[in-house]
Amino acid sequence: MAETLSVNLAERSYQIRFGANLSAEIRAEVACLSAAGRKVAVVTDENLATKQGGALAAMFGEVPVLALAPGEGAKSLEGLGRTLDFFAQHKLDRGGVVFALGGGVVGDLAGFAAAAWLRGVEFQQVPTTLLAMVDSSVGGKTGINIAAGKNLVGAFHQPRAVYISTDLLVTLPAREFAAGMAEVIKYGLLGDSELLAQLERAPLTLRSAELAAVIKRCCAIKAGIVQADERETAAEGGRALLNLGHTFGHAIENVAGYGEYLHGEAVAIGLCAAARLSEKLGAIGAAEVARVDAVVAAHGLPTRLRAPLAIGALRAAMARDKKVRAGGLRFVVLKALGAAATQGGIDPALADASFAAVGAV
């Protein structure tokens, strides 16, 4: 029996459905849309189409499918163009519905393409990675990367539904599962000390009995934050708290080259850098920094850069970040493990030193 969590955003409200296998429910939704004369299209990636071909057919039958090359490279102007051409080829009209079947790359790209196509058509999320299930499929942030930076082009476009079917994780590579754990750890650090303690006691794995409950817990945290600050306009805190580790992480992805680090790997290093910045600001101590490193490492994630990156290049990438306001960058810092806050006016030298502490030069 599927469980449900509502994201309450007035006319943009939707439900997140949770279950081991939601194929029949998704197939019924597709049949209902088709019976109403609404065209349906699926965007996925080649790995998913190959490894989960049976699930794809069970959910969508003969619906047109675009399978993009896997990886961050698809989340680009070229990938956007291919997706829009696919919509045009299959005559997706304003009543059309796009299903994003995949990880964060597919969800971000397909959601942005849906937002742009005919000035906005509906889309629904079927996340297939841990990272997408706990984070990117919820909240309506869509977009692509350009050379200047991560997610600099995009739109707020809420899905009409999210289907979290945990059986889809069975073919997920261990590295991808670990990458998703960076976002789970983030939720513990920014606002759920009990979740953090649980992760410290026993690392979460694909076989953990509590995996489904943890996924739902993370979605509930994000839903609450999104409901309070959908478009990240709060002067302090709000949705910006979800960027814990991401200001550092996005810069790492940009400078290293998209694809060198999985998003979650870069965020993991970013969490370690953010902990060091928080220590330099006097908010937490060395013991807390060590705990952050330990829980990150326990989940198979890097705590330092694999190869040195230039601090100057990282600083320049951060200066192009979406979170810059009035020429200044706001960081998310830890006030304690389980409590975070946004803070501006930070001396750039402290950010440089935090990067140096995780291997930048």
Catalytic pick among 222, 280, 291, 299: 222
Q: Which domains, ranges and CATH numbers included, belong to the chain?
A: 3-170 (3.40.50.1970), 174-357 (1.20.1090.10)
In the residue annotation, 141 being an active-site residue is answered as yes
Q: In the annotation, is 157 catalytic?
A: no
Q: Single out the catalytic residue among 75, 250, 276, 323.
A: 250
With a CB cutoff of 8 Å and minimum separation 6, the contacts of 142 are 107, 108, 109, 110, 111, 112, 114, 115, 154, 155, 156, 157
Assess whether 239 carries a catalytic annotation. Answer: yes
Q: How far apart are CA 71 and CA 331, in angstroms?
A: 27
| Annotated catalytic residue 232 | yes
Q: Is 263 a catalytic residue?
A: yes
Residue 73, classified by CB atoms within 10 Å of its CB into exposed (0-12), middle (13-18) or buried (19+), is middle
117-155 pLDDT tens trace: 999 999 999 999 999 999 999 999 999 999 988 899 999
Q: Which of 210, 221, 163 is nearest to 18 (CA)?
A: 163
Beta bridge partners of 100: 43, 125
Question: 338 pLDDT exceeds 70?
Answer: yes
Query: Assign residue 61 a region: left if phi > 0, alpha if psi is -120 to 50, beta otherwise?
Result: left
Strands 141-146 and 122-127: unpaired
Would you say the pTM of this structure is higher than 0.85?
Answer: yes
DSSP at 358: T
In this predicted model, what pLDDT tens digit does every residue of 206-217 receive, in sequence order? 999 999 999 999
The answer for residues whose C-beta is within 8 angstroms of residue 178's C-beta and 6 or more apart is 264, 265, 299, 300, 301
Least confident of 36-50, 51-65, 127-141, 314-328: 314-328
Q: Torsions phi, psi of 7, nearest 5?
A: -105, 110
